[in-house]
Amino acid sequence: KRPKNFPPGPPILPVLGNILNLSLENPLKDFEKLRKSYGNVYSLFIGPKPAVVINGMNVIKEALMTKANDFSGRPQDLFVNDITKRKGVILADYGPSWREHRRFALMTLRNFGLGKNSMEERIHGEIKHIINTLEKSIGKSLTPQVMFHNAASNIICQVLFGTRYEYDDEFIRVIVRCFTENAKITNGPWTMLYDSVPIVRKLPLPFTKAFKNAETCQSLANRLVTEHKKTRVPGEPRDFVDCYLDELDKRGSDGSSFSEEQLIMYALDLHFAGTDTTSNTLLTGFLYLMTNPHIQERCQQEIDKVLEGKEWVGFDDRHNMPYVQAVIHEVQRIANTVPLSVFHCTTKDTELMGYSIPKGTMIIPNLTSVLNEEGQWKFPHEFNPENFLNDQGEFVKPEAFMPFSAGPRMCLGEGLARMELFLITVTLLRKFKFIWPEDAGEPDYTPVYGVTLTPKPYYMKVQLRATQ
């Protein structure tokens, strides 16, 4: 039974709770149906566990910003916690270890050039490799999935480990495969079973593959940290790992939350968070740009005009490219790369929109419901850059633009992600024309569901632009 004054929801079955109400293929449609029946705040039982799904900009802002202290914790008894050994930052509960590590990452990302030229240079360095790959395919069709995943992985790898990998290198192939597989397994049926029926956890069921993948990643990261320890000069950090090792020296064994094991899981957290997100957003972007050639051409006209005579695009050039900015934001809105997140209520009986939420309740902010919320967007259900342009053709960002979430747990890589999306999209559109191959049939925009939404694999044709 639902507790007193708990948000409403569909009838609860014994043992299973409401899991039959959700399609495992893609529960986002079911979440939307339930919102229509029960309102912006409703509850579901994942097996025996109560969860409250929150929808729409106002409720999500109320929970994640106004009541951030109550709703910024992460559940600690799920599959994802076991996979990450309760270390790292993404899944850390709201407390001193999370706070210290988050602050450290933000500071280090800033010191390594976020907002400064050196980060731009690193991204441009990687773009050269994307261009090489595309140039080899001029006039032919290629599948861009692996290329964009590797590029995003390399950019964050340079920040973390000071190195990039050739696209056919074993390290990058293995790690990107593990990340993409685990992103899908984590939101799959076996994980749902793992989370709701603890006695199955030790059984050799398909979720064991995710543990194997996690171990593979950990041993790769461990190897990199060991190499860093041999070659580093204390006080002269080359990258994130060196900075963390300096911090460990400084803190000693004073009972601080910093440790070598933390470093390994933390680096993997950042690597994962920075790879699958940015690459899937880029993949969505190029899918829509190919199938909307008039939008692609209008971007190219603006890019040519603003960059005339310039060798490189800089991040600051975005201020002179309102249309391109609108397109990239619209891509992020429609890509909806991180559709849901998971918190838990950390304080006793909190009130939310008139309902009472007991401590420990899982809270699922449905970011999808904000990115296509009626009343917040001119065209909530179609790909249309006008969503980010005012009547004068100037770029405007509606308040409901929340692909990075909101509040204290919002994406800590937003700055890096935005820089990557802008520099990569503009440089590639300036040089190439992207064409939906004639024999590719009708485009299928339905994404594949997981921790991140992924466009279905597609082919692209590239031509050098006449201006190049």
Q: Which residue is nearest to ligand HEM (CB)?
A: 413
Non-local CB neighbours of 258 within 8 Å, separated by 6+ positions: 100, 101, 104, 244, 247, 248, 251
Q: β-strands 432-435, 460-464: how paired?
A: antiparallel
- The yes or no reply on residue 333 touching ligand HEM (CB under 6 A) is no
Q: Shortest Cβ distance from residue 156 to ligand HEM (Å)?
A: 6
Q: What are the two backbone dihedrals, phi and then psi, of residue 52, each rounded to the nearest 5 degrees?
A: -115, 125
Q: Does 453 bind ligand HEM (CB under 6 A)?
A: no
Q: How far is the CB of 157 from ligand HEM (least distance, A)?
A: 11
User: Pick from 191, 213, 341, 454: which binds ligand HEM (CB under 6 A)?
Assistant: 341
Q: Which is nearer to ligand HEM, 221 or 307 (CB)?
A: 221
90 sits near ligand HEM (criterion: CB under 6 A): yes
Q: Is 411 labelled a binding residue?
A: yes
Q: Does residue 175 bind ligand HEM (CB under 6 A)?
A: no
Cβ proximity to ligand HEM: between 78 and 156 the closer is: 156
**Residues 297, 282: Cα–Cα separation, whole Å:** 17
Nearest residue to 1 (alpha-carbon basis) of 53, 45, 52, 39: 45
Report, in Å, the least distance between residue 311 CB and ligand HEM: 26
| Residue of the chain from 19, 83, 89, 331 that contacts ligand HEM (CB under 6 A) | 89
Over the Cα atoms of the chain, what is R_g? 22
Report the distance separating Cα 290 and Cα 305, nearest Å. 21
Q: Which two tokens mark 115?
A: 């907002």
List C-alpha distances in Å: 20 to 27, 187, 335: 10, 15, 27
Q: Which two tokens stand for residue 389?
A: 């342009």
In the range 275-314, which residues lie near ligand HEM by CB under 6 A? 277-278, 281
User: What number of chain residues touch ligand HEM (CB under 6 A)?
Assistant: 24
Do residues 377 and 387 touch, judged by C-beta distance below 8 A?
A: yes
Among residues 126, 239, 269, 302, the one that binds ligand HEM under rule CB under 6 A: 269
Return d(Cα 84, Cα 72) in angstroms, integer.
19
Q: Is 405 in the site for ligand HEM (CB under 6 A)?
A: yes
369 near ligand HEM, judged by CB under 6 A: no
403 near ligand HEM (CB under 6 A): yes
Residue numbers at the binding site for ligand HEM (CB under 6 A): 89-90, 102, 156, 269-270, 273-274, 277-278, 281, 337-338, 341, 403-405, 409-413, 416-417
